[in-house]
Amino acid sequence: GTMVQRRKLEEEDFRGTQFVNHTLDLKGNNDILSVTRPDIISDIHEQYLAAGADIIETNTFSGTSIAQLDYGLQAYDEVFRINKEGAQLAKAACVKFTAQNPDKPRFAAGAIGPTNRTLSVSPSVENPAYRATTFDEVVKAYYEQCEGLVAGGVDMFLVETIFDTLNAKAALFAIDKFFEDKGTKIPVFVSGTIVDKSGRTLSGQTNEAFWISVSHAKPMAVGLNCALGAKDMYEYVKNLAKCCDAYVFCYPNAGLPNAMGGYDDTPAQMAADCTPFAADGLINGIGGCCGTGPEHIKALHDVVAAPHKPRDVPVVENLFRTSGLEPFIYQPDPQDHRKTFINIGERCNIAGSILYKKAIVAGDYDKALAIAKKQVEQGAHMLDVNMDDGLIDAVPAMTRFVNLLVSEPDTAKVPFMIDSSKFFVVEAGLKCSQGKCIVNSISLKEGEEAFIQNARIVKRYGASVVVMAFDEHGQAATEAEKVSMCQRAYKILVEKVGFNPQDIVFDPNILTIGTGMEEHNNYAVDFIRATREIKRVCPGSKISGGVSNIAFSFRGNDAVRRAFHSSFLHHACAAGLDMGIVNAEHCIHDVYEKIDKELLMYVEDVLLNKCSNATERILQYAATLEPKCTPTAVRKKGVSAEALSGEKVTTWRELPVEQRLAHSLIKGIDEFVVNDTEEARKASERPLHVIEGPLMDGMNQVGDLFGAGKMFLPQVIKSARVMKKAVAHLIPFMEAEKEAARLAGTADPNARSDSGCFLIATVKGDVHDIGKNIVAVVLGCNNYRVIDMGVMQKCSDILDRAILEKADIIGLSGLITPSLDEMVTVAKEMEKRGMKLPLLVGGATTSRMHTAVKVGPQYTNTVVHVLDASRAVPVCQALLDEKKRADFELDIKDQYTELREDFYASLEDRKYLTLPEARAKGPKTDWKLPENQPHKPAMLGSRVFKDFPIEDVVRAIDWNPFFQVWQLRGRYPNRGYPKIFKDETVGHEAKKLFDEANAMLQSFIDKKALSLTGIIGIYPCNSVGDDIEVYTDETRETKKCTFYTLRQQAEKDTLEPYMALSDFIAPKETGVQDYMGMFVVSAGFGLDKITEEYKAQNDDYSYIMAEAIADRLAEAFAEVLHEKMRKEDWGYSQEENMSTEDLLKVKYQGIRPAPGYPSQPDHTEKSTMWDLMDVKKEIGVELTESLAMLPAASVSAMVFGGKCSQYFTVGKITDDQVKSYAERKNMDLAETEKWLGSTLSYEP
C-alpha cells in the first residue's frame, strides 16, 4: 500500500482496460491493480526483494468477496482472479530472485486481511446483538480467497492485521477446511493488531488472549503488525514471545502516523527501534507495514536481521488455557485444588436459573444479560450458556445471547462454556465468540464415528471440550464405568483427533444423592474416587461437573443444599476436581471451614455414605431449619434473625444523584438509570438540563478514561447505550414541555425533539466503516438523529444529502491515507458552496495536526478533529449550543493556529529550498510606501531602569503559565485565567493558589524583597542581505556590530514568503534609514535570598511559588518596557491604548523575538546584544557558558517596530545556509552546527 500510494495513481489506472465501463469507482481498490496494472505490482515486489526481503506478501489484503462488495467486484470469478493473479505476480518475483541466488530462497505469502466487517461488534445502536455479517459468510469468503491464492502458487497463508479475533478464527476455520477438502497443506502465519495504549485489539482482546484464541491452528508463526510503531510494540511482542511456542515475527509501521497521515521514521530510525526485538531474542522475523518502503526493509535486513540470532522457540508449559477478552490460564495448586477451583457460573443455564429461563422465554435478553454480568461480579471465572428447553428456539436464542455477552465487556472478559445437548446449537454459540470457548458437551452416546466427527469440528473452532461419561449403553454411574468411558474417549481424542490433553475436560456425572434410593447412596463417593483415577490414567485432562446436581433433593432448603455443595467441593477437589458449574457467589462465600459443624456432620454422613440411615437423619434435621438461612449462619425455625453488628457500608447507590448517574455511565450499569434520571429531572428546572448537566458530565468522564487507555471500545459503546436509556426516559417530558409551550403560545418554532442531525460518511475511495459505525452508535445513543451514508461517498453526494436532510453537522471518516486528501476536497467544496455547517473529521489516519494544517484552512467555518467516538458527543453538544458555540469555536481556532505554527516549525520530512531560492522568495516590501516608512526614535542609544516599581507591572502579569507550572489546567470551557477558577476539578485549588501567590507578591512589594532592573536600546541600522548592520550614529558611516539572521527553507504549500528577521529592516541600498531596538529585563535580583530562606525552613512550596512569581514578573516587566518603547522612547505607537488582554494577545504593532526562539533560534546573537548595550556592567545580568541568563528570572528580546514585521518560525534549515551563516559570523562550522543543532535538517 505504501508503494502504491507513492505512485499517485488515478481512476484510470485502477480500471485499466478490463473495467473501463465498470459502474463504481475503483480508485483505492489496490487489489485490482494485480489485474489492471501488473507492471506496477511486479515492480514493487521486486524492489522489496532487491532490498533483502525473504518473504513478500501478495497484493490481496482486501481480496475477499466481502471487501470487494464495496467496489462491485464480489463475484466469485472476480475474487478468484484478483487472488490468483496477485499470487502469480508475487510468486514469479520470488522465483526470479531465488534463481539469482539459490542460497537465499524467497517466498510468497498469501495476504488474507481482516475484511471491512467485524463479527464481534454491532453496527446497530438499537441492537447490540446484531452483526453486519455472519461467521458462515466470512468463512465462505475466506475459503474462496484461499482457492485463488493457492491456484496462484503462494508458499504460505498470512492471516494479518487482525483487529477482531473472531474474523481470524473464521479465516483459520476456512483454511483448515480448505486443507482437508483439497488434501494439501501449506504453512500458516497469523498476525494481530494492537490498536491503542490499552494493549488490546479493536474488539478488546489482549494479545495473550488473542494467541490462546488462535493457537489451535498450530500456525508456523504468529506476530503483530500495523497500528503502532516499533517502540510502542516492544512490550506486546515481548509478551507474545514469552507465551507462544511458535515462531514470532513483527512488522510495525514506520512510526506512528504523522499529522499528514504519512510516516516519519527513517530507515535508520526504524531499524534502531526494531533492533531490541532481535537483540533481546524476541523474534524470528522482522518486516515493515504502513510507511515502510524498500529502503526500510534494507535497513531492517542489514541492521536487525543479519547481525542477530533468531529467537529460540521456547517450550511453553502445557496448561489448560482459555480466553475471553482476557486470558484464563489454569495452574492448579497441587497442595490445595479447592483454592484454584474454576467457578463456572450456572445462572445462564436454563436448568440452573428459573429467572434466566423466564427471561429468555419472554425475550427479555437485557435481564438475562444482567444475570450473566452479576455472576462475573460475584466471582465466576467462566459462564455456562445453555438454551435447551422445549419453549425456546435454541439456535437464534444462543446466537443472540452470546452476541450480547460479547458486546458487554464485563461478561466478554471471561471465557464461555457453550452448553447444549444438540451439537448444532453448540456450533451456533461457537460462531459468535472470539475467545477460546469450552464446548459442553460431546460423548460416545451415538458411537465413535459421530464422536470423532464432532470432536474434529470442535477442534476446528479452537475450543476445549467437555466429554460426558456416556457411551452407547448409557450413563456412567459407578466408579468403574466412569473411568472406563473416560479412558476410552481420551484415547480417541488424543490418538485419532489430535486433541491436546489439556483441552479435554471430563464430566464423570455428578449424580444426585439423598434420594432415599439405596443405589444412589454411593454416587458422590464414586465420583470422587473416579476423579482421582481418571486424572491418573488420562494425564493432562481436567475434571468438571454440575455441582448443584449433588443436592438436587434438597432444593428449597438453602442451608442444607449449599452445605452439600461446599462439602462436596472440599472432598472432590482434594481428589482432583478442577472446575464445576456452580453458583459462583455461594461457591466463594460458603467456605468449608465455616460451615456450621452440626449441619456439616449430617451432610457428610450422606455425602460420604457413612451410614444407612443418613438420609432420614438429615431430613429430620433439615425440617428444623429456616429454609432461607445460610450454611455458615444456621438458624432454627422460630428463632428471630438478629442483624449482625457492624457499621453500615456506604455504596454508590447512596451517592448524590449526579454521581450515581456518572457511575452508571462509566460502569455501563443501566439497572437504575431510569429512576436516577427521573430523580434528577424532578430536581432540575427543565429535562434538557439533565442531559446537558450530569449525563454529559458522566460521558465526558468516559471520554477521559478512554483517552487515557483506562476504558476500551466496547465499554464506551456500553456507556453510550446507558446514556440512550436515560435520554429515552427524558424525551416524553421534553415533548410535553414543548406541547405546553405551544398551547401557551410561547413555543420556539425552531425547537426539535432530537439533539441535532449529524450526517456521517466514509469518504470516496475508502471502504472502512467500523470507526464510523461506532461514532454513529454513540451519537445515536445521545439522542442525535444520525444519517449514516456508508462508505465510498463522493463529495457532492455528501454535501447534497446534508442539505436535503437539513443536517446540523457533517462528519467525515477515513482510515487510509488518500482519504485525507478527499477530506480536504470536501472542505474546499463546502467553502465553494458557502456552507456554514461545522465539519468534523476522524479516523485512524486523521489527526488534529492534519486537520489544523490541511483541512481547516480550506473552510472558513468550524473544522474539528474528533479523536474517538467518546469525544464526538461533547463536541457536537458544544457546536449546537448557542451559549457555548462561540467560545468553543474560538478555542478550537486558537489551538489549530498554534498547531499550524508548530507544524511548519518542526516537520522534519519537508522538502527544502536552497538558500538562494529561499532568498528569492522572501517578502517583497515596498519601502517607499508611507506605511512602511520607519519612525525616527525619540532617543538613540541605551537607557537603564533600576528598581522599577513592581506595582506598575502587576497589571501585565500573564497568569496562565503560572498555573501550568503547578500543572493546573482547566477543561473547556474553563481553560485559562480567570475561567480556570470555575473549573469543577481544579477551580478551587487554582483560586487558592492564586490568592496565595498574590499574598506573596504583595509581601515582596511591601518588603522590597525583589527588584526589577532593565535596559533598553535603540540603534540606527539597515539590512544587508540576511544580516542587520548596526551603526554608531545617524551618519551610518561606521558599523558598530552586525546581527545575523536565519531564513526559512522548508517548502510551503502556499505562496507565503520565506522569511528572515532582516526582512523587517529596510535594505541599505534603498537609502531608507531604519532602526532596531532591544531590551534585557530581570526580576531575579533578591530572589536567591528569598528562596534560600524558604529552603532553610524546608518550605518547598513557598520557594517554588517565589520562583514562579519572579518569572511572571520578568515577563510582565518585559511587556511594560516594550510598551514604553513603543509609546515613548521610540514613539511609533504614541496613541496606543491597549487593555492587558489585548497586550498579552500581541495586538500591538511590531514584534519582540528573542535569540534562541523560533524567529531566531541562534542563542549566540545574545552575545552581540550584551556587548552592544554593555548589559552585564549596566544592570548585572550575565550570560552563562550556554548563554542562559543569570538571574534566571530574566527576559531579553530584539525589537522590530515596522508594520511589516511579524512572528514566524524559521524551522529546519539545510547545510548550505548553515555554511553561509558560519562564514558570515566568522564562526567555526562545527561550533555553528552545535548551537543550531535542533534547527538542522541533517545530521552533522
Residues noted as catalytic: 766, 768, 819
Q: Is the peptide bond before 1011 cis (omega within 30 degrees of 0)?
A: no
Give me 488's grid cell: 476410552
Give, in degrees to the nearest 5, the angle at Cα 525 between 520 and 530. Answer: 115
CA distance 416 to 432: 11
Max CA separation in the chain (angstroms): 127
Rounded Cα gap, residues 498 and 694, in angstroms: 57
What does the block give as the cell for 44?
A: 514493487
Helix then strand count (H, E) for the chain reads 45, 32
Grid cell at residue 109:
505469502
**C-alpha torsion angle, residues 18, 20, 23, 28 (rounded to 10):** 80
- 728 to 127, 130, 402, 733, 755: CA distances (angstroms): 15, 21, 26, 10, 12
| Residue 550: count of CB within 10 angstroms of its CB | 27
- State how far Cα 318 lies from the chain centre: 33
Find out whether 582 and 609 touch, Cβ atoms under 8 Å: no
CA 987 to chain centre: 29
* Spatial contact of 551 and 512, defined as CB atoms under 8 Å apart: yes
The answer to whether the Cα torsion of 263, 267, 273, 278 is positive or negative is: positive
Residue partners of 153: CB distance under 8 A and separation at least 6: 87, 88, 91, 108
The residue ranges of DSSP E strands in 388-529, in sequence order, are: 416-419, 438-442, 464-468, 470-471, 474-475, 504-507
How does strand 1182-1183 pair with strand 1189-1190?
A: antiparallel
The CA-CA-CA angle for residues 478, 480, 485, to 5°, reads 100
* CA–CA gap between residue 393 and residue 264 (Å, rounded): 55
Write b or e for each residue in 994-1031: b if 16 or more Cβ atoms lie within 10 A of its Cβ, otherwise e: beebeebbeebeeeebbbbbbbbbbbbbbbbebbbbbb
- Residue 1057 preceded by cis peptide, ω within 30: no
Query: What is the DSSP annotation of 849-876?
Result: HHIIIIIGGG-SS-EEE--SHHHHHHHH
Asked if 839 contacts 810 with a C-beta cutoff of 8 angstroms, the reply is yes
> What distances in angstroms separate CA 1161 from CA 491, 1181, 1242, one per listed residue?
77, 21, 16
Q: Are 795 and 765 in contact (CB under 8 A)?
A: no
Which of 446, 371, 378, 382 minimizes the C-alpha distance to 414? 382
Q: What is d(CA 750, CA 740) in angstroms, rounded to the nearest whole number? A: 15
Q: Mind giving me the DSSP string for 589-638?
A: HS-GGGS-HHHHHHHHHHHTT--TTHHHHHHHHHTTB-TT-BTTB--BTT
Give the closest residue to 1089 by CA, choosing from 1014, 1015, 1007.
1007
Cα dist. 37→30, 76, 86, 150 in Å?
Answer: 10, 21, 11, 21
Nearest CA to 344 among 317, 320, 316? 320
CA separation for the pair 225, 233 (Å, rounded): 9
